[in-house]
Amino acid sequence: MFISIFYGITVVWEKDVGILTKLLSTPSPRSSIVLGKSLAAGLRGIFQAIMIFALALIIGVKIRFDPLDIAGVFAVVILFAMCFSSFSMFLASYLKTRDRMMGIGQALTMPLFFASNAIYPIAIMPIWLQYISIANPLSYVVDAIRSMLLAGTYENLPVDILVLVIATVVFVTLASTTIKKLLE
């Protein structure tokens, strides 16, 4: 999440040095620019996941190493990175400076993390925070990864994946339609 939420900063930097103007002047659709950058964020996320797997092995975390589950985790990580990087690019379209993007990224990172089920179960949260957690895509990422690597239960997995796909499509679409605003 931490790399993906700051991906909009690179888009603002590309605007500042003129790269984005050149990219947007090509006949390729804007969505291909957003998708390309989002997939790049996904690949970076895979490398982070590999490092976390290695650290988990070193400290003795009991992880289920089923090849299908690991492939599923990588798919979830890619979706997650695409979702949050396109969200970041959408925000960058309106914020337009690296300083603003850095400030908003930092202001969003911890609340999104603490308003998810990453630290404690949703059931013990106050009601108002439960609603926020249910709307937070990070909750579905955590649930999907836990179910594949730790629990071996897949009841909620289709819902988790569906929510991530919908959130990713929404944010890629929003970022694709607003990225040109960066140049205004």
Domain assignment of residue 80, given as a range:
4-183
| Dihedral angle, C-alpha 130, 134, 137, 138, nearest 10 ° | 30
Residue 1: the pLDDT is: 60
| Dihedral angle, C-alpha 72, 164, 4, 14, nearest 10 ° | 120
Residue 29 pLDDT > 80, yes or no?
yes
Counted domains in the chain: 1
101: amino acid identity, one letter: M
Q: Tell me how far apart the alpha carbons of residues 172 and 179 are, in angstroms, rounded to a whole number.
A: 10
Q: Tell me how far apart the alpha carbons of residues 184 and 175 are, in angstroms, rounded to a whole number.
A: 15
Residue 102 pLDDT > 90, yes or no?
no
pLDDT tens digits for 112-125?
A: 888 888 888 899 99
pLDDT tens digits for 35-75?
A: 999 999 999 999 998 998 899 889 988 888 888 888 999 99
Residue 84: pLDDT band by 50, 70, 90 thresholds? very high
Residue 39: the pLDDT is: 93
Q: Tell which residue, 81, 89, 2, has the closest CA to residue 39.
A: 81
Residue 182: pLDDT band by 50, 70, 90 thresholds? confident
Q: Tell me how far apart the alpha carbons of residues 63 and 146 are, in angstroms, rounded to a whole number.
A: 9
Q: Are 164 and 83 in contact (CB under 8 A)?
A: yes
pLDDT mean over 147-173: 91
